[in-house]
Structure 1
Amino acid sequence: MNRSGDEQAVDPQTKTTRPRSRYVDTLRAVAITRVFLHHTLWISWLAVLFPSMFVMFGLAGAMTAASLERKGPAPTVRSRLRRTLPPLWALAAVAIPLMLINGWQHDTTNPLRWQDLLYWVLPLANPPASSWGGAFTLALWYIRAYIWFVLLSPIFWWFFQRWPVKTLVAPLTGAVLLYSPLVPLPVNRVGDVMWSTASYGTAWMLGFARHTRLLDRIPVWVCAAAAGVLGVAGYFWGAGQGGFPFADPIAETLWGTGFVLLALRARPTLAWLDRFPRLARLVSAFNARAITIYVWQLPVLFLTGALLQYAGITPLTTEMKIASLLVGAPLTALAVLAVGWVEDIAARRRPALVPAVPSPRSAPAGQPAPAAASA
């Protein structure tokens, strides 16, 4: 999950700041918004309409490839960890004391194991929570998966540079195998890491392909046809399992991968955003506070639900969902205002309540944006 500072790179030859990609920023802002709406309204088709997690991994893969090419493996890993972990630690500084105050030491369902608190420092596995504080950790699997992709990316990049097509399809092939009887998936922390790496791995590699412009060499109609095949295969696979078709893990992976293939193949300038400076500013702000929004939205929404129930609104009704949106959105904004400055420190910017992010510029029509900016 990369934020504004990642796309705004300094060219080592000219020492100038290269322009950011409006399209990349907008995709990420839409992805974060969709996640928030899904957790507020709980409408299943939203995840089909815009598979946010696959998009976010794809964009992160592109930004990581740009960093690997520009800075090398060790500086890239250090930079990604430095930008990702402090917002998680800010959440931990609130969540852990609250869970302890509410009796985590005596929780029989999710007992406290002090050594597991290390996963709040470096989430190589999902950070633990008490039964009372589960809302703090429900969404943190993404941070855990992202950290593993960052740590593995130097290896992935080495393989991709030598065998790009095989490296692209390997994770998707692995996901199908892990879901088959041929390769039983462990039901533990190792299994969680294996599945998320396989399921979202091709989206990450497509980010590599976008940065290297490998995707640009494939005709749009070919990408559209491949995405269509993946989507149709996902639908029929999921339908054959019963229930909502894209709720099946393989169906979701096939659909999400096809969506990212098309999304990363496109390179619109989105120059029309220049006519709406407030909207452009909002997109920039979402990118500057991406991790903070993501890690705080579920705890805030659970708090919102508790407040609405206390006010007498029946849970899981349309009235509750609309009220959650109207109340939860400003409460989430307040939480972001309170702790979002941590992302400024992580990105080595001057901390501010409202992020002081310059509006990105689009590449001139007919000209490709610089690789690091357009990745």
Structure 2
Amino acid sequence: MPADPSPHRPSPSPAPAHDEPSADAEAASQGSPPEKPTEPAPKARAGGRDRYFDALRAVALIRVVSYHTFGWAWAGLVFPSMGVMFALAGTLMAKSLERPAVKVVRSRMRRLLPPFWFWGLFVVVAMMIHGWMPGWQIVFWIVPVGDPPGNEWGVQAWEILWYLRTYLWFVLLSPLLLKIFRRAPIPVLLLSLVPVVVFQYGWQPPYDRFGSALTDLATYLFCWLVGFAHREGVLQRLKPGAVVLASLAALAYGGWYALAHQAEFGTYDLDEIPLAQTFWSAGFVTLLMYFKAYYDVDFAWLARFKRLDRIVTIFNGRAVTIYLWHEIALILAVPVIDRFWNVPAFEKWLPLESQWFMFGIGWVLIWIAIPLFGWVEDVAARKKPRLLP
């Protein structure tokens, strides 16, 4: 989710000096014809979208769907999608907080909650049909500051809501976090790694809604703040050698901890090991954000590939929809494939037992969900509803 799908502007870069005469103007003043201008290279889309961030968000969403299809334990080591999405959301939040904080928080909640309510209506009704009786905890289906309740029948659908809950808490805390960050950016950024270490070696949060929220906030706090660091220009002022060395050290520690504690956690999957997730994501995301800050990349070349550029646009304009509905799409892919077994030609020629086939069917259903349900994101953003962004 997904990270925040609202339009955003890239970090400011030095603007050209408009008071300097252009080459054509100089040529004209000397009486010679101006040189024929070369065709400009494709630029980022109008509206200030940064295609580097857009591309990262699209890759993160693809990785999320892949992980929930195949269950690859190594997926988080290749691309820690949740850390990336929190970092992107953090930099956009810092940009938005140039406006009054109350308006920004209200706007973020307005963009998030209606798609969540629309999706939740289907999930809650389905669970009630399958025997679930909600109690007072159903309030978390209205404002998910805690994990919304559910039954085992619907767990695959609602277990992804931890991300929305964590994102919502970061949004609510961001005005205060940004003030603290601006007082001492680097010390605050480094100290953001302390809570998860304390939770691992000292006090452990309880296994309840409060404890889960606290653990997830601690796990991804650094990623959110490194988004602040990018927006505030802190990363640009750091020396490349120091950033790369620190990032590699964090990656090494996170990777080592995950691999060395497989017996304790039963896996090296970062999603199951908060301490390893924190340090691996911190190193990975810092390199991605510093690369953006140091080289000022914007992936404007995407405009040359119309279809790819269009797909990236859809992924970003419907990030919340894709994140919320992808698990339901994967759930529905199973009975859809079961129907294929009743067609002899499909049974003979299609790889119905392959997870890759289920992955493909899942994406077909996701692309059906995008025009069916994605318009809710437009309504939430106070835009004219469209089938595709």
Match among 268, 271, 274 for residue 249 of structure 1 = 274
Q: Which residue of 1 aligns with 2:250?
A: 230
User: Of the candidates 108, 124, 135, which is equivalent to residue 96 of structure 1?
Assistant: 124
Structure 1 counterpart of 2:85: 56
- Alpha carbons 1:62, 1:210 under 8 Å: kept: yes
Deviations 1:24-45 (A, max 9, x none): 1111111111111111222222
User: Unpaired runs of 5+ in structure 1?
Assistant: 10-16, 106-111, 356-375
Q: Deviations for 1:303-344, whole angstroms, at most 9, x for unmatched residues? A: 21244356569xxx9933112112111111111221100001
5 Å matches for 1:200-239? Answer: 200-239=220-259
Which 4+ residue blocks in structure 1 deviate beyond 4 angstroms?
309-313
1:261 is aligned to 286
Deviates more, 1:292-301 or 1:217-226: 217-226
Distance 1:305 1:273 in 2: 35
2:362 equivalent in structure 1: 328
**In structure 1, what residue type is equivalent to 2:150?**
A
Q: Give the whole-Å Cα distance in 2 for the aligned partners of 1:162 and 1:212.
A: 12
Q: Which residue of 2 aligns with 1:165?
A: 186
- TM-score, structure 1 length as denominator? 0.85
Could you say which structure has the greater relative contact order, defined with CA pairs below 8 angstroms and 6 or more residues apart?
A: 1
Partner of 2:206: 186
In 2: Cα distance, 1:75 partner to 1:6 partner: 16
**1-structure distance, mates of 2:212, 2:143:** 16
Match in the other structure for 1:137: 158
Q: Matches of 1:278 and 1:216 in 2, distance apart?
A: 33
For 1:137, what is the secondary structure of its paired residue?
Answer: helix
Q: In the alignment, is the contact (CA less than 8 A) between 1:171 and 1:197 conserved in 2?
A: no
Q: Distance in 1 between matches of 2:283 and 2:353?
A: 35
Aligned positions of 1:323-362 closer than 5 A: 323-355=357-389
Post-superposition offset of 1:294 = 0.2
Give the unaligned 5+ runs of structure 2: 12-45, 342-346
Residues 1:196 and 2:221 are matched in the alignment: no
Please tell me whether the aligned partners of residues 7 and 48 of structure 2 are also in contact (alpha carbons under 8 angstroms): no
Structure 2 residue aligned with 1:276, among 290, 305, 315? Answer: 305
Q: Which residue of structure 2 lines up, in the alignment, with residue 2 of structure 1?
A: 4
Pick the structure with greater CA Rg. 2
TM-score of the superposed pair, with normalisation by structure 2? 0.82
What displacement does 1:298 show? Answer: 0.6
Secondary structure at the counterpart of residue 354 of structure 2: helix
Maintained 8 Å contact 1:38/1:46: yes
Q: Deviations over 1:232-287 (max 9, x none)?
A: 11122222212544533211211111101011112212122121022111111110
Distance 1:310 1:342 in 2: 31
Letter in 2 for 1:50: F
Aligned partner of 1:116: which letter?
Q
For residues 52-91 of structure 1, the C-alpha deviation after alignment (integer angstroms, 9 at most, x for no partner) is 000000000000000112x121111101101111110111
Shift in alpha-carbon separation, 1:229–1:8, aligned structure 2, 3 A = closer
Instruction: Measure how far apart 1:138 and its partner are.
Output: 1.4
Aligned residues: 336
In 1, the alpha carbon distance for the partners of 2:180 and 2:138 equals: 34
Deviation, 1:190, is: 1.1
* Per-residue deviation, 1:221: 2.8
For 2:304 and 2:340, the matched residues in 1 are separated by 42
CA distance in 2, matches of 1:296, 1:342: 13
What residue identity is the alignment partner of 1:201?
L
Letter in 2 for 1:65: A
**Aligned match for 2:66, one of 31, 37, 40:** 37
Listed as ranges, the matches of 1:279-318 within 5 Å are 279-309=308-338
Give the partner amino acid of 1:136. Answer: A
Matches within 5 A, 1:103-118: 103-105=131-133, 112-113=134-135, 115-118=136-139
Q: CA RMSD in A?
A: 2.0
Amino acid at match of 1:215: L
Alpha-carbon distance in 2 for matches of 1:89, 1:231: 37
For the 8 Å contact 2:8–2:50, the answer to whether it is kept is: no
Q: Which amino acid aligns with 2:354?
A: M
Deviates more, 1:92-101 or 1:139-148: 92-101
Query: How far apart are the structure 2 equivalents of 1:224 and 1:8?
Result: 23
For residues 89-125 of structure 1, the C-alpha deviation after alignment (integer angstroms, 9 at most, x for no partner) is: 11112111121122213xxxxxx31x21111110011
Q: What does residue 12 of structure 1 align with?
A: none
- The residue number in structure 1 matching 2:42 is none
CA contact (8 A) 1:8 1:18 kept: no
- 1:367 alignment partner in structure 2: none
